Structure formats: structure tokens, C-alpha cells
Amino acid sequence: MVMFRLCSVFTIWLAIGLVSVGNCQNFSISGIPQEYLGASAVIRESAQEVRVDKTGKFFQKNRTVATIFKKDAEDLAVLAVDYNSLIKVKSISANAYDIVGKQIFKSKASDIKDYSNFSSFSVYEDTRVKLIDATRTEFPYTVELEYELEIGTLFYIPNWVPQATPKYPVMSTRGSYTFFPDNPIRFFAKNIEGEGTSSTTADGMTKVVWELANLPAYDPEPLVPVAESELKVLFAAPTYFDFDGFKGDLKSWENMGSWIYQLNKGKDVLTDATKQDVAKAISGLGTDQEKVRALYHYLQGKTRYVSIQLGLGGLMPFDALTVDKYGYGDCKALSNYMGALLKEAGIKSHYALIYGGEGRRILVEDFPKSYFNHAILAVPMEKDTIWLECTSQSNPFGYLGNFTSDRQALLVTEAGGKLVRTPKYSHSQNAMTQKAIFKIEESGNAQGSLELEVRATQAENGGVIDVVRSSSDTKKKWIQQYFGLPSLEVVSYEFGLEDAPIPVVIVKSDLIVKNMAGKSGNRFFLQPNQLNVYSTNLPAAKDGRKGRFERKMGFVDVDEIVYAWPEGFEVENLPKEISIDSEFGVYRAEFLVEGNQLTYKRNFELRDGVYEASQYQPYRDFLSKVERSDKTKVVLKKSQ
């Protein structure tokens, strides 16, 4: 797959944590309900307290009490708290208790380990982690973990997640927020029934508390649409905030975009030398799209990605002059730099914030806050928009891929911010065509050649889109591993790339394959589809599917493989033609024999979409039929 770098600058909130606060005095396991004793662990109490300070910062206290029954849950006994110049650790402690509640461990200062959390791709970073390991060797045992943080801006007020790990039941959980009435914290509850209890403290502050109890463990259903997840989340965000003197508000996406626009303002100045490079790069080019492509390749050739995680650097990009000087930047700096190059060429562009990752995250349109961890660039054309991923030196022009396609982004404009959706690659665009010819020898070994053509997100399969520009050894190794053929020897190979918003990768190779046909006595057992077997691991719905499910990426596969075998063999068993039509897709497989030659043709179209719960089992059945067909065998028998 295409390897993009996450811009961790927008994810400082992850360091704040999601665990939580209470007052548990009895640590004996006798207090745990019988129905929870089969779990690997039980969260007995969790609590998260947030209190806003009059200076604009806030304090967060977290406390968790968990009884651990099995080794596979002992990660709950390790408390790791990230911090940096913005996040200060005020206190951190851990205790452990045996089966009857007797204390067997109490953390001391020497038990607190402090490590740099420096990333291999980061140049500017001050993130560290404090860690206490309270794991025990005898089960069950109970841990009590506590820490307090001081965070310098309300921008990063954390959400409350009552049951962060569904496989662990929760006996009691509590979330509270205390704030000034003239700057209220806003809330959006997802899968949490009822309202928080609001009160006024002695010093005139507003305190809102949510409490839940007896949350049973559950197995999340597979393929749940992001917006329909069962996870309970209380989203929280300030109305107004101050970040290093930059005041802003999150009352609307427009206002949030205006604040980001101000952070970026004036950072698009280029050196005279770079301005000359821009003029040279676009000289003689007729259309704006050609100019954007030329400048994108200029960016890729001149810069490289690094992570920036210092203070406001988590949100504000380095200016273009800094990128010019050093030749590197993070997602924000490189997107800003690309925008500066385009501005010099007279082409308008917009900085955009987005969540980067193959798994999309929920974004509540009616609840503005920072859901983002990455920055890209949008270049509006007359009929369309070109989206640019600026952190990759090898990414095809205008291609977003699984990393940032088909999701909401915050477009930052002079008029403020607005939510837009990045392009989605259709199942017909995500296409793969594969042709191969193999000549099977008496031993069952084979010599052959193949040609693979993949488009759009299928070009990310096995990371081939990155391999195109890799070393010869890497290319050879990729062929050996990707096709999954036994004892594969690569005789020759050729890789090609069509650099376009819908990229095309072509791989050609000559091969020697051992044991392509299994031999037993005077018979060959040949599986026609050895290059592209579809495997499904979807579990059955134990008590019936409850919620809808989603196939996120559709595709089309077309395979044609020719096998020739030695004289003297004849077909003893030939599978029948298979044809399956369903609302989820279409599958065709043909087995055509002429003389001592088999032509195997396969066409598999799987459509993306959201389906009702009642269709889950038919969907599983469809994919199971495809898998069985893909694994079917032809039997050849040697004539007497």
C-alpha cells in the first residue's frame, strides 16, 4: 500500500488518555458479580475528571481499578502516560492487590520509568512517556492506576469513553467536566442515554457529571459502518480557547477554519531562487493541471517528510522559507509549501485537515472539534479538484489512496472552514487484470510468465505502488512473496507506473515454479487459481446480526491463466463453469480444455456499499462460494 506519514501534530489529544476516576476501597474479587468472572479482566471503577483553570488550561485526573484474571489482559496493569511541553504530568501512581484485597505492590519514585517517545521519522519532538509496570505473576490480581495531567490549552479537552475496550465489562464509570459558565464545554453523546447531571460549585463553576454502571462485555460486530459503531463516546470541546496567544473558537467549522487560516497566514513566502525554479518548472506548459503536476514533482524531488511535535508546531506549519532552507517538513509544512509554489504560479489552492489512516474515524458534522491528524492540499480546477498528498516522495500525482480518500476534510479558506468529502474510488476503478501462461513439466514443476495490471487502490495491494521505485532486490522479493506460489524463482521482471490520479501499476515476470501441480502416482492435482485466491474470514453472527454492515472498498478482478501439460495426460476431473450473481457482486469461473491445455478464466466483481443486517449471512454465503470456487482443482491422469 502507499505509505503516507501520519502528521502526529494534530494528535496530541491521544496523549491525554481516555481512561478514567472513583473511590474503590474493597479490592477483593468477592465484590465482582458472578456473571463477569469469565472475562479476562473486569474494569471495577474508572473515572475521568476534567477541571478548567481560569488561565485557560485544564487539569485532568484519571483513575482505573481493574481486576485481571488472565495473562492476555495484563496490559491493563501497565500505566503509560505521554507528556511534552504542553502536557505536564502532575502525579502518577500504581498499586496492586491480591485475590483477597491485600496490597502487594505500591509504586515508588524508582518504579516510574521515563523514556523519550522520539519517532524514527521525527526531527523536532519533545514527547516523552512516564511508565509504571504493575504486572504480577499470580492471577487474579487487582490494579489501581492513577495520574493527573496539566494541559496548556482547552483545544485538547478529551472525550470520555466509558468502555474503551468492549471485551472487558465495566462495573462503574464516571466522567465529569468543571468549567466557567462564560466559556461552556460543549458535549455530544453517542450511544450514551440520558443527560449529564449539572450543578454549580461553591466557586461558581458549572460541573457536569455522567455516570454509568454494569456495562457488560460485548463483541463488536464486524464491518460496522463507522457512524454506527456501538462504542459509547461523550465528545467534548470548548467554545473558546487560547493556544499560545492565538485565540479561537469551535462554535462552527467556519470559525475553526478561520483560526487555522490565521495560523498559516504569511507563511507562503519563497526565496528568489525557488521563484525562479517555479518559473522554469512551468515554462511552456499550457494548462493549470500540467503546471500543478510539474510543481508536485518538484516538491517530491526537493523535500522529504519529518514529524514536528513541539508546542504550537503541533498545529502551525513551518513557513515556506524554512522548508526551502532545510528541504524537509511535516504534513502541515509541506502542504503549506506546495500551496506557496502554486501561488507563485498563479494557481489557487486550499490547505485541508483530515484524518489519515486506512480505518476511517467518526466525525460528527454538527459538533465542530479537531478530529484530524493530517494535512493535505486541495487544488480546485474548473471541473474538478486535484487532491495532493504532500508527504510522499513517490506518490502518484493527484492520488489519495486508502489513506485519505472517501472521508470528510476541513477545507481552510479565506472565508473560513467548511467540510468537504475527498474522492471515492469506485469498484470499477479499483481494477486488477492478470494474465499468465505456465508450462507444467513431468515433475509437476512449471515455467511461465505473467503480467499483472492494477489500478487505484488495488495498486496498494502488497505495497506494489511503492515497490515500483524500489531497488531490484526489493522488486524481486515482492514477486516472490506476493503471488504465494511454492518455491518461486524469479527469472526476469519489469515494473511500470502510470503516474496519474488513478494510478496504474504493471508488473511483468518470467518464473520457475516448483510443485505447481501436485503429483500423486500417475495423477496431477492442479489448482487453476493459485495467483489470486479470495479468502474470507467473516465470523458467523452468533445470535443473529443486529446492525448494518459495510463493504468499504469494491473492486473488479479479471484473471486469465493458461496451463499446458506434457503429452500423455488427460483430464480426469474438470470443474463445471461457475456463475454467481448477487446484489453484492458477480463471480464467473470457466475451465476450458483444448488438447493438452487448460484456459482458466475468472471474473470477480465485489461492490462496496452499506447493507441491512438481514443480508449479512447471504453476504457470507456469497464470499464462501467464491472462496470454494477459487480453491477447486483439476485432476489430470496419465494415459496407460
* Tens digits of residue pLDDT in 60-97: 999 999 999 999 999 999 999 999 888 999 999 999 99
How does residue 605 score in pLDDT terms, banded at 50, 70 and 90? very high
What's the rounded Cα separation, in Å, for the pair 508 and 486?
18
Q: How confident is the model at residue 25 (pLDDT cuts 50, 70, 90)?
A: low
Terminal Cα distance for the chain, rounded? 50
Mean pLDDT calculated for residue range 496-516: 96
pLDDT in the model for residue 312: 56
Q: What is the pLDDT of residues 449-470, one digit of tens each?
A: 999 999 999 999 999 999 999 9
Average pLDDT rounded to a whole number, residues 141-157: 96
Query: Residue-wise over 228-265: b if at least 16 C-beta within 10 A, else e?
Result: ebeebbbbbbbeebbbeebebebeebebbbbbbbebbe
Per-residue confidence (pLDDT) for residue 10, from 0 to 100: 39
Per-residue confidence (pLDDT) for residue 486, from 0 to 100: 80
Predicted local confidence at residue 125, as pLDDT: 53
- The string of pLDDT tens digits covering residues 257-269 is 999 999 999 999 9
> DSSP state, 291?
H
**Mean pLDDT to the nearest integer, 167-188:** 97
> Residue 518 has what pLDDT?
93
Residue 195, C-alpha cell as written in the block: 443527560
Q: What is the pLDDT of residues 548-585, one digit of tens each?
A: 999 999 999 999 999 999 999 999 999 999 999 999 99
Q: Output the nine-digit C-alpha cell for 464.
A: 506494489
Domains defined along the chain, listed by start: 13-238 (2.60.40.3140), 252-421 (3.10.620.30), 431-638 (2.60.120.1130)
**HSE value, Cβ hemisphere, 13 Å, CA-based, for 503:** 25
Q: Are 345 and 371 in contact (CB under 8 A)?
A: no
3-state secondary structure 298-359: HHHHHCEECEEECHHHHCCCCCHHHHHHHCEECHHHHHHHHHHHHHHCCCCCEEEEECCCCC
pLDDT at 6: 43
Q: Provide the pLDDT confidence category of residue 127 given band limits of 50, 70 and 90.
A: confident
Q: Which tens digit of pLDDT belongs to each residue from 285-316?
A: 999 999 999 999 999 999 998 876 544 557 88
Give the pLDDT of residue 126.
66
- pLDDT greater than 70 at residue 13: no
Containing H/E element for 276?
A: helix 272-282
Q: What is the pLDDT of residue 439?
A: 98
Percent of the chain whose pLDDT exceeds 90: 86
Tell me, what's the pLDDT at 26?
Answer: 86
Higher pLDDT, 15 or 50: 50
Three cell numbers, residue 477: 522479493
Cell numbers standing for residue 593: 480444455
Contact residues for 628 (Cβ-Cβ < 8 A; gap 6+): none
Q: Is the pLDDT of residue 359 over 90?
A: no
pLDDT at position 137 over 60: yes
Q: Which of 8-12, 94-98, 213-217, 397-401 has the lowest mean pLDDT?
A: 8-12
Average pLDDT, the chain: 92
Burial class (CB in 10 A: 0-12, 13-18, 19+), 131: middle
pLDDT per residue as tens digits for the range 320-334: 999 999 999 999 999
- Residue 492, classified by CB atoms within 10 Å of its CB into exposed (0-12), middle (13-18) or buried (19+), is exposed
- Mean per-residue pLDDT, 611-618: 97
